[in-house]
Chain A
Amino acid sequence: MRVLGALGTAVLVMLLLLAGLDRAVAAWFPRFDRVSDNFSPAYLEREVEALAHDPPQTIFIGDSVLWGYKLPAADAAPTLLRRKGLAASNLSFEGGSPANTYAMLRLLESHGVHPRLVVFNVNQKEFSQADSAYQKLHPSLETLSWNLLTADERKLLTPTPPSTTQKPIEVQLDRWVTSFWQLYALRSDIREWLFGDVDAVHALDDAIQAASGAKARTDAAHKPTPDRFEGTYDLSPIDEQNVSLIFLEKTIALLARDHIPAIAILTPTNHTLLHEFIDVPEYEKNLAFTHKLLASGGVRVIDLDKAFKAAEFIDNDHLTAAGNQRLAGTLGPVLAQ
């Protein structure tokens, strides 16, 4: 009996401390310059709820190009614009696409967020069925937005397959714990915040790889060459069955319906690297088609497709830190209007 009493006290102390920590996490966990690599539904929901209470601001909803792929958050163009005084939030993420842009807008709409301006990028490679985000939502966005989409919209998308490492009971338990425990729900964001990587083991491994020189050798072996991008861009005419086109049209319609001013950036593309694949009339036709579609729907278009030099790219479309600086410099005067 005495042992049981002691155990009960121990569990009570643990629960009290966990509850206190959870209150602290909920109150003080930071809002980042951009979502993390592996952001959780809890973080995204927290951010969207905060945006609903913030004064209207510019919201970037793009893919890895606007997220700042392979760069620290501080070097991404939206962060640079914020540092210059633009009231803005970056909800771009790796794996963005027109379907993801639309789902994010639906999520913002459902929470009563009224952006002053939405800035999104339209990347020609995302009209290709081979693109990983062509008809997939980011799993965290999918968790929050799936029920906001119509049945017809959901049919166009491939839902995230069930986990192969978790049993159904574990998935249920995970959902239940996530619903009331912030520390657990935000664990992937907390790990990225603390370690700068998905978890401590990966962070340690990265540090060892960097110290041993293995990382530099791997990076050198992964220099982008044209052959790596063969098939990345689908040059067949974009037709009405194209899932990215359908969601781009829905995005334009939603922005018009909600009277949200919007700017679409035609994504900077490395024409030097991709010359043999995309410097053809078919690519130009598809680019002109999307440009016209956006403009006719009332979206202001900034065509940056050929605006950057090869040296400003990391690969086919991701910009270097200098490239992001120039992108911020290009967007700054337009966004300030």
Chain B
Amino acid sequence: MIENVPGAQNVEEVLAHDPIYAVLGRRIAHPVVLGVLLFLIVVAVIVFGPSAESRFIYTDF
């Protein structure tokens, strides 16, 4: 028996009791979650990325 999950004999049985895994484990959820993750990564790269397009030509004293 694995600790905290009465009756569970292996990792799969433990995960089966986890509500998050229950969502992630659904066949349709995998690519959707991956798509959302990819979206967040793309947006984060654009928003938090370093500015390489400085147009500043004003010269201070």
1/0 per residue, CB under 8 A from B, across A125-158: the answer is: 0000000110010111000000000000000000
Minimal Cβ-Cβ distance residue in A for B49 = A199
**In terms of DSSP, what is the predominant structure of the interface of chain A?**
helix
8 A Cβ contacts from A1-25 to B: 5-14, 16-18, 21
* A132-B57, A183-B43 known; A10 vs B51 contact (CB < 8 Å): no
Which residue, B51, B55, B56, has most C-beta atoms of chain A within 10 A? B55
Q: Are A94 and B56 in contact (CB under 8 A)?
A: yes
Q: Are B51 and A188 in contact (CB under 8 A)?
A: yes
Q: Are B35 and A17 in contact (CB under 8 A)?
A: yes
Q: Are A199 and B51 in contact (CB under 8 A)?
A: yes
Determine the distance from Cα of A5 to Cα of B46 in the docked complex, in whole angstroms. 27
Q: Are B43 and A21 in contact (CB under 8 A)?
A: yes
How many B residues face the partner with a CB closer than 8 A?
A: 26
- Say whether B31 faces chain A, with CB atoms less than 8 Å apart: yes
Q: Are A14 and B53 in contact (CB under 8 A)?
A: no
How many A residues face the partner with a CB closer than 8 A?
A: 48
CB neighbours of A229 from chain B (8 A): 61
1/0 per residue, CB under 8 A from B, across A31-59: the answer is: 00000011110000000000000000000
- Say whether B17 faces chain A, with CB atoms less than 8 Å apart: no
8 A Cβ contacts from B2-54 to A: 30-32, 34-36, 38-39, 42-43, 46-54
How near does chain A come to B46, taking the closest CB pair, in angstroms? 5
- Say whether A201 faces chain B, with CB atoms less than 8 Å apart: yes
Which residue, B39, B53, B54, has most C-beta atoms of chain A within 10 A? B53
Q: Are A198 and B54 in contact (CB under 8 A)?
A: yes
> Which residue in A6, A17, A202, A224 is a CB contact (below 8 Å) of B51?
A202
How near does chain B come to A10, taking the closest CB pair, in angstroms? 4
- For the complex of A and B, list the 6 residue pairs with the smallest distance between their C-beta atoms, beginning with the closest: A13-B35, A9-B31, A10-B34, A94-B58, A10-B35, A199-B51
